[in-house]
Amino acid sequence: MWNRVSLSIKIAGPLVLMEILGLIFGGFTLIAKIEKARAKEMDALLMGQADLVEESFRFSKGPPDFNDKHDLFGELDRNPKIFFLVMNDASKVLYVSKGAKPAVQKELSDAVMTRPDRTPHLDELFDIILGSEKWRATKENIEYKDSVNNLTRWRVYTAIDETASVAELNTIRQMILVGALGLAILSSLATAAIVLLTTSNLRLFAQSLARINPENPVWTFPVAAQSSEEGLLFASFGKMMSEMETARQNQKLFIANASHELKTPVAGMMAALEVLLARERSSADYQAVCRDLLKTVKDLRRLTGALLDTSLIEGGKLQPYLSLPLNDIVDAVLERWKPSLKLKAMDLKWKRPAIVYSILGNQELIDVAISNLIDNAIKYTQERGCVEITLDRAHDGQVRLAIRDNGIGMGAEEREKLGDIFFRADVSRSNKDSFGLGFANAKKILQSHGAKLVVNSKPGKGTEINIFFPSA
């Protein structure tokens, strides 16, 4: 299920959720801190008012005279947001402030005098709820000496109206919650928009992949990359598609030409067999047809062997390299081609060097490469021509193997195509037994061994191939 969810949701979902949870947590933490600070402020205000009420009683000498309405006492007594009640030790009410409404005075007096819990200790703070109003109260004691110098103690209950503060606090709480909700919505939308814009190219990229035609795998992406990672992805995929298209075209060409080259010998074999089976023939006729079939089978084996060698090189399936004496490999290859040279009455110039030149490589593949190049030199040289082989060391220390012939040669345009599979220089003048695979195969083998090929040729002047091997 999770694997089918789009990448945008996978990225934006957790981010939005974390933002919302963070804002909710921050909002409630802020509200709690504001409420705590507000309560502390109100308690400090209450204690300050209680101290003022107590101080207002001390302006008179002896017992407080509640009828003496001096400025401080009068101001506190008339304040509708402040309530105070004075009781003696016998719990007789001596005075109730006149600032609050009569109904509120009565309810506050009853709440103070008939508290269901124990009487508050000195300076203890407690709440009084009167319908929609909230009052905060405290208890304090005042002492004085009467006319006969007896110590008298009064209890004073002071309360202040916190209703406005509570309402204001509720308003602040609502504003914080609404602000947090709005910020969560805006941040969520912004996060979602950023994620959607950031991943938009990936969605287009996936859609473009779905539209690729397997028969014609062409891929283009007109939208510019929005990040370095996207640029790397698009460039890498474009390069891969280009290489795949090149490989596909090479494969089509390879199959087409291989089919064409295989078709001719197969058709010849079928025709020979049909003629042979059409009627009874002499043993000499059978032998002649069998010799023709054997020659055709050898051609097929040589063609398939060349194709197999090329595929092994392209697939990188090479054996570990060993130190090889190049002198011996050249001797072995020339020994195999002496009959062909003799058949065309060609001259071979080869003088084995006294110094042994060693290279690193796979002996079988190096043998195939040199054999293919010498085969080409023989094929593209007329009868009574000459092939010259030289093995020495170049000025830069590399081992140089040169193969020269005085055959048909080739022009600059043909040299550019040399090494392409199935390419044959001037087909009208080349050997009809050639499949155009020898040089291509040799080139791949030698390049895989780190060797460099330099071809010099002119039409009618022959060809010289120089192979430079890294010295072992």
Which of 311-320, 323-332, 338-347, 410-419 has the weakest average pLDDT?
311-320
Please name the residues in contact with 19: beta carbons below 8 A apart, sequence gap of 6 or more. 184, 187, 188, 191
Closest CA to 344 of 389, 316, 375: 375
pLDDT digits (tens, 9 = 90+) for 355-367: 999 999 888 788 8
Give 387 or 224, the one with higher predicted confidence: 387
Q: Taking the C-alpha atoms of 366, 370, 373 and 375 in order, what is their torsion angle to the nearest 10 degrees? A: -120
* Paired tokens of 25: 């947590």
pLDDT digits (tens, 9 = 90+) for 85-110: 888 877 888 888 888 888 888 888 88
- What confidence score (pLDDT) does residue 429 get? 42
- Write down the pTM of the prediction: 0.44
Domains of the chain by start residue, with CATH:
2-171 (3.30.450), 228-311 (1.10.287), 320-469 (3.30.565.10)
pLDDT digits (tens, 9 = 90+) for 146-182: 667 777 788 888 888 888 888 888 888 888 888 888 8
pLDDT digits (tens, 9 = 90+) for 109-130: 888 877 654 555 555 788 888 8
Q: What is the mean pLDDT of residues 192-199?
A: 76
| Dist. CA 386–CA 349, nearest whole Å | 8
- What confidence score (pLDDT) does residue 318 get? 57
Q: Which residue has the tokens 């002896």?
A: 62
- Cα–Cα–Cα angle for 73, 79, 80, nearest 5°? 145
- What confidence score (pLDDT) does residue 236 get? 83
* Paired tokens of 374: 């010498």
* Cβ 15 vs Cβ 184: under 8 Å: no
Buried b (16+ CB within 10 A) or exposed e, 127-158: ebeeeebbbbbbbbebebeeeeeeeeebbbbb
Bridge partners of residue 137, in order along the sequence: 126, 159
Phi, psi of 429 (to 5 degrees): -110, -5
Q: What is the mean pLDDT of residues 244-265?
A: 68
User: Max CA-CA distance within the chain?
Assistant: 169
